């Protein structure tokens, strides 16, 4: 029986880890340098959302063993790509739009991760409660980011940094704890060779 290739799973997991770390680093930078220009923030966030959306799509189609971390990534990956493109090409009210777009994405991701935490509990993953805690915290930051877009630019940059740091930590822990790559994983549909006996296919 032909085994399924684990290359897409490895790419998705590595991509998740890299993007999660980049989100954490960006969060720390935004908090350390709250006076950073909105143009730079817009480009960074837009590109990051597009790349993460692509990684999520790869994860969804990789069909990892548990199907936990990537189970909602088809819809969410498409959403992130669309919002990322809008952020890159939105010249007016840039900072407010970035906060709303990113806040919605992160709030949804937090809600999806709550479901993943519950599913992880059913799978017997002992650290499911940490995923749940990170998801709730991240979702709360997402709500703050949506509704606090009228505060001062420096305060907003710090809030944006905290939100990105929380989102990065959530995704990093989720992918590390729930994505299991098995080299000899069989395909979902087992192919059976057919042959004919007395003119009838068997």
Whether 109 and 167 have beta carbons less than 8 Å apart is answered as yes
Parallel, antiparallel, or unpaired: how do β-strands 196-197 and 200-201 relate?
A: antiparallel
Tokens at 130, concatenated = 């940490």
Burial of residue 139 (number of CB atoms within 10 Å: 0-12, 13-18, 19+): buried
Q: Evaluate if residue 128 carries a pLDDT over 50.
A: yes
Side-chain-side CA neighbours of 36 within 13 Å: the count stands at 22
Determine the pLDDT at residue 101.
80
The residue among 117 and 3 whose pLDDT is bigger is 117
Could you tell me what percent of the chain has a pLDDT over 90?
A: 22
The 10s digit of each residue's pLDDT in 55-92 is: 989 888 887 666 677 888 888 889 889 988 888 877 55
Q: Which residue has the higher pLDDT, 89 or 194?
A: 89
Contacts (Cβ under 8 Å, ≥6 apart) of 24: 164, 165, 168, 169, 172
For residue range 171-184, what is the model confidence (pLDDT) as tens digits? 999 888 887 766 65
Structure-token pair, residue 94 = 């840039």
Q: Give the whole-angstrom CA distance, residue 7 versus residue 42.
A: 32
Q: Which residue has the tokens 């897409």?
A: 8
pLDDT tens by residue, 93-115: 566 777 788 888 889 989 989 99
Name the pLDDT band for 191 (thresholds 50, 70, 90): very low
């Amino acid at each position: 029986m032909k085994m399924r290739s684990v290359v897409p799973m490895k790419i998705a997991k590595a991509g998740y880890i890299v993007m999660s770390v980049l989100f954490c680093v960006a969060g720390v930078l935004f908090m350390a340098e709250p006076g950073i220009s909105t143009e730079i923030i817009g480009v960074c966030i837009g590109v990051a959302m597009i790349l993460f959306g692509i990684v999520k799509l790869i994860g969804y189609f990789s069909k990892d063993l548990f199907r936990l971390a990537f189970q909602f990534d088809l819809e969410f990956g498409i959403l992130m790509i669309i919002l990322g493109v809008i952020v890159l090409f939105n010249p007016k009210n840039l900072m407010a739009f970035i906060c709303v777009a990113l806040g919605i994405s992160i709030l949804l991701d937090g809600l999806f991760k709550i479901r993943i935490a519950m599913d992880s509990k059913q799978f017997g993953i002992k650290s499911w409660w940490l995923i749940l805690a990170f998801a709730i915290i991240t979702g709360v930051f997402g709500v703050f980011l949506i509704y606090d877009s009228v505060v001062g630019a420096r305060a907003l940059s710090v809030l944006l940094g905290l939100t990105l740091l929380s989102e990065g930590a959530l995704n990093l822990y989720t992918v590390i704890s729930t994505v299991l790559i098995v080299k000899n994983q069989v395909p979902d549909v087992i192919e059976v060779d057919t042959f004919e006996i007395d003119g009838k296919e068997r």
